[in-house]
Amino acid sequence: MDPPKPPPANKSAAGRSLIGYLISMDTTLSYKLHSLTQPFFPSFLFLILELSADFRLFFPISLSLLLSPTLLRPFLPPLILGLLLDLLVLCVIKLTFRRSRPLYNHTHSMNVAVPADHFSFPSGHASRVCFVASLAHLSAATIRQAMAPEDEGKALNFVLLAVWVWAVVTSVSRVLLGRHFVSDVFFGACVGVLEALFAFHFLRF
């Protein structure tokens, strides 16, 4: 008599186990990064970065750029429409996954812009800053053409570098401040880059 065959592997259970393992690693890594940097980085610096990328501050500032010199005009329609798109996309994703923020997040110091901001995945700040930095990078050639020839784009290169530094530091600070997990920031940054590509190719007027 043949020995009984082993039961077929439960692919669904294996998938859940892998996802659980990745989430556990993400949670552990995020907490270690947060706890290790607390003695060295004052929280108020991270809060300033948080404020600098807050939609309620950043969007009105972007609208005010409509009064800026002509050289920024090609950059403004995709920027403003892209910020609105980012808000919509992030709300949909957050409300779909509904991932709770880290337990060590100090909610008393956090003001949410929309109800979806109570959820963690993905990071809206990381998405927003990476969208702005990516769009600025993609629009650099257009803006450079409108600048004075003698400038040779040196000022623009400096601004682009500053914007990318701001985007990277702000994104990293979301984990160090305890607002998000590492995966929240990573996927938020990816969303921002994809939105910038979409805005650059389809939202320019």
51, part of any domain: yes
Q: Catalytic: 34?
A: no
Asked if residue 33 lies in contact with residue 173, where contact means CB atoms within 8 angstroms, the answer is no
Q: Are 135 and 79 in contact (CB under 8 A)?
A: yes
Structural domain contains residue 6? no
Q: Does residue 175 lie in a domain region?
A: yes
Q: Answer whether residue 1 is part of any domain.
A: no
Catalytic residue flag (residue 108): no
Catalytic residue from among 34, 106, 137, 180:
180
Which of 34, 106, 108, 125 is labelled catalytic? Answer: 125
pTM of the prediction?
0.87
Q: In which domain, by residue range, is 168 found?
A: 11-202
Calculate the CA dihedral of residues 205, 126, 58, 107 and round it to 10 degrees.
Answer: 150
Q: Looking at the domain assignment, is residue 157 inside a domain?
A: yes
Number of domains within the chain? 1
pLDDT truncated to tens, each residue of the chain (205 aa)?
A: 454 444 454 555 555 688 889 999 999 999 999 999 888 887 888 889 999 999 988 899 888 888 766 667 778 899 999 999 999 999 999 999 999 999 998 877 777 767 888 999 999 999 999 999 999 999 988 777 766 555 556 778 888 999 999 999 999 999 999 999 999 999 999 999 999 999 999 998 7
84 lies in some domain:
yes
Considering the domain boundaries, does residue 56 fall inside one? yes
